Amino acid sequence: MRRIFHLLLCLVIPAAPLAAAEPISVVATTADLAAIVKAVGGDRVAVESIAKGYQDPHFVEAKPSYVRVVNRARMLFNVGLELEVGWLPLLIQGSRNPSLVVVDLSPGVSVLEKPSGPISRAQGDVHPLGNPHYWLDPRNGVIMARRVAQELKTVAPGESATFEQNLKSFENDLSARRKRWEEQMAPLRGTEIVTYHKEWEYLMRWLGLSIIGYVEDKPGIPPSPRHLEELVRTMQQRKVKALIASNYTNPNVPRSIAEKTGTKLLVLPTSVGGEETIRSYGELFDAIVGKLVNALK
């Protein structure tokens, strides 16, 4: 009788659903990479970024808490081109995580400003592999997302269809947004600007703006008074409309230059999370393009 009762219960009460597989634990070196990984991976990934959107990704403190994050991760995505060379090797080595899959997202990108001759510290903070700020061109964002999808498939091949579908949605959304951004910026192509640091080359090449000078006469080194005098004179003569600095740059020097030249100081976010409203890769360029249009029109 008990056996019959048990069989009846099995027929009436549905079996409990199988527990879903745990999401892939992923760490990204920057908030931009984390946003792209999340867009492609969806709920099949759990992503954490090391550098926040309001930080300079060149200079991140290799905290013990970050070592623990890398220790727990299955995959790590980084910008590469030695952007994180000052801190990422310390985190990877300290994590003692032999199963960690480390993915450099720079392969496939057309890298700008690769040095052709010998490099020395006298030249400033020159990147020997080229300018690493390639994520500031959304066309490179597509290249990065495709690589992310490819690498996620190697770790979770059973989720390949999901990653492909998410990738397609990301590409379609970015394509529609890019068309709008390019239409907004079309009347401003050729506009001359000055930037604080050599981090906007990919963005300006895409948008067709012309960088005619830098506040830093050597990358990563505070400018000399003589250089600033020459820069101010050039900006006045050419009636430069905007001086662009990142959201993590000390504003004192660029503000002083803007006041002397009558130029608009435009502080732009360089990463997702650089402003509270920027939560996705597409929203980063919504903010950047909107600020550029308002400043230059």
The enclosing domain of 74 has a CATH number of 3.40.50.1980
Tokens of 270: 């360089």
The pair phi, psi for residue 280, each rounded to 5°, is -140, 165
> Mean pLDDT, consecutive 10-residue segments, the chain of 297 residues?
43 40 95 98 98 94 97 98 96 97 97 77 67 98 98 97 98 98 98 96 98 91 93 97 95 95 96 96 98 94
- Looking at the structure, tell me whether residues 205 and 163 fall in a common domain: no
CA-closest candidate to residue 287, choices 262, 258, 266: 266
The answer to whether position 18 is within a domain reads no
Give the C-alpha separation, 297 to 295, whole Å. 6
Domain closes at, from 139, 155, 177:
177
Q: Can you say how many angstroms the Cα of residue 101 is from the centroid of all Cα atoms in its chain?
A: 20
Range of the domain at 72: 24-110+126-177
The candidate with the shortest Cα–Cα distance to 62, out of 51, 52, 48, is: 51
**Is the same domain home to 166 and 213?**
no
For residue 1, the Cα-to-chain-centroid distance in whole angstroms is 66
> Does 73 fall in a domain?
yes
Residues 228 and 276 in one domain: yes
Residue 7 lies in a domain: no
Return all residues near 296 (Cβ < 8 A) that are at least 6 apart: 188, 191, 193, 241, 242
Question: Do 192 and 159 have their domain in common?
Answer: no
Which of 177, 194, 217 represents a domain boundary (last residue)?
Answer: 177
Same domain? For 282 and 230 the reply is yes
Residue 168 lies in a domain: yes
Question: What amino acid occupies position 220?
Answer: G
Q: Work out how many domains the chain is built from and give that number.
A: 2
- Give the chain's length: 297
What is the layout of strands, in order, in the sheet containing 210-214? 210-214, 192-195, 242-246, 264-268
171 and 207 belong to one structural domain:
no
pTM of the model: 0.90
Token output for 66: 């970050």
Contacts of 133 (CB under 8 A, 6+ apart): 83, 199, 200, 201, 202, 270
Q: Report which DSSP code applies to 23.
A: P
Question: Which one of 139, 160, 177 terminates a domain?
Answer: 177
Question: According to the model, what pLDDT value does residue 10 have?
Answer: 43
**Same domain for 200 and 218?**
yes
Q: Are residues 43 and 172 in the same domain?
A: yes
Q: What's residue 7's pLDDT?
A: 40
The whole-angstrom distance between residue 253's C-alpha and the CA centroid of its chain comes to: 25
Pair 265, 205 in one domain = yes
The per-residue pLDDT for 9 is 38
- The verdict on residue 2 lying in a domain is no
Q: Is 12 domain-assigned?
A: no
Looking at residue 109, its amino acid is V
Task: Specify whether 155 is located in the same domain as 220.
Answer: no
Same domain for 145 and 282?
no
Q: Are residues 163 and 101 in the same domain?
A: yes
- The span from the CA of 51 to the CA of 209, in Å, is 28
Query: Quick one: pLDDT at residue 124?
Result: 53
Instruction: Judge whether 133 lies within some domain.
Output: yes
pLDDT at residue 218 in the model: 83
Q: Report the alpha-carbon distance of residue 34 to residue 140 in Å, rounded.
A: 15
Domain contains 248: yes
Query: Residue with structure tokens 């498939």?
Result: 153
Is the Cβ–Cβ distance between 49 and 34 less than 8 Å?
Answer: yes
